[in-house]
Amino acid sequence: MKAILFEQYGPPEKVLSLREVEKPSPKHNEVLIKIKATAVNDYDWSLVRGQPYLYRLMFGFLKPKHPISGMELSGIVAEIGADVHNHKVGEAVFGDISEYGFGTFAEYICINKNAVIKQPETISFEEAAALPHASTLALQALRDIGKIEQGQKVLINGGGGGVGTIGLQLAKLYHCHVTGVDAQEKIEMMKSIGFDTTIDYKQINFTKAGEKYDLILDCKTNKSAFSYLSALKVNGRYVTIGGKVGSLIKVLLWSKLINLFSTKKLQVLSLKPNKDLDYICELFREGKIKCEIDGPYALAETPGLIQYFGEGKHKGKVVIKTDSP
């Protein structure tokens, strides 16, 4: 089978390459999946470069223990292990597999039977690959942690990416006024999908602009913990789902103190992969949310796409079709 491999850390376009490798066979509790589509995420950008160095402590200090990256997929079950009873051969499945492993930048993968769920017929493989990680991050941040309410004033930092575009649509279900912050190149797209207000982060620092919000969903975490407080209303909530590790750690540490003495809350989301993905699928079926897909691209283009993602140039989710020429 074909797969995108890397044997050392470094710039994606230098260390990643398309190669032929042996197709795996499922263990007793695994399914072999013929991958139809996958997507690029923050994890891939960090792991391939080995930065921040925390990733090396988890996945190999000098070189990666697992040479194939990727954490989202949609595909067809090609073979099942002896103890697999929740899937069958020929079934379309999808999911965020990060709780059980990685390796979706390939034509096949063997993964734990519980890493994926059945894919609804109403969702294409490209859409299914784009949904699991971004939609569950947005849902858990806004609803479960952020306690979003009707008619609130919401800001999404990183509004033009995968989480941001889904987050907008979820917030609109609550009739919220939503402000999106991102690069100028994404502003027109963000306006077209429904952001009420857009901010070019290079021109305006939203934490110093004087506007206050009930809820901030942060996909970037590129400012100090205290700066976010100035952009929150009384009883406002700030939830971060990703960004620079150093900034995330600072928000986590300072939030313990701030949350004791302030009505404003700072929180860091710890994702529960695939939680309530069935609810997301129902919203999709009803036409209440849709995927903003950048692509689809061919598997061979993965090295450049990870670099493209890391530079923040993508609009929505970067999706890769493994069977594209």
The tens digit of pLDDT for each residue in 123-151 reads: 999 999 999 999 999 999 999 999 999 99
Bridge partner residues of 110 (DSSP)? 32
Name the class of domain 134-268: alpha beta
Q: 144-148, 194-198, 259-263, 311-315: lowest mean pLDDT where?
A: 259-263
> Do 199 and 119 meet the contact criterion of CB atoms below 8 Å apart?
no
Banded model confidence at residue 55, pLDDT cuts 50, 70, 90: confident
Q: Distance between CA atoms of 212 and 208, rounded to whole angstroms?
A: 10
Burial of 231 (0-12, 13-18, 19+ CB in 10 A): buried
Banded model confidence at residue 57, pLDDT cuts 50, 70, 90: confident
Report pLDDT for 248.
74
pTM of the model: 0.94
Q: Distance between CA atoms of 308 and 312, rounded to whole angstroms?
A: 7
Query: How do the domains of the chain map onto residue ranges?
Result: 2-131+291-321, 134-268
pLDDT tens digits for 227-259? 899 999 999 999 999 877 777 777 877 777 778
Banded model confidence at residue 182, pLDDT cuts 50, 70, 90: very high
Report pLDDT for 223.
86
Q: What string of DSSP letters covers 68-103? A: ----EEEEEEEEE-TT--S--TT-EEEEE-TTT---
More confident residue, 66 or 212: 212
pLDDT, averaged across the chain = 94
What number is the average pLDDT over the span 289-318? 96
CATH superfamily of 2-131+291-321: Medium-chain alcohol dehydrogenases, catalytic domain (3.90.180.10)
H/E stretch holding 135 reads helix 132-139
Banded model confidence at residue 56, pLDDT cuts 50, 70, 90: confident
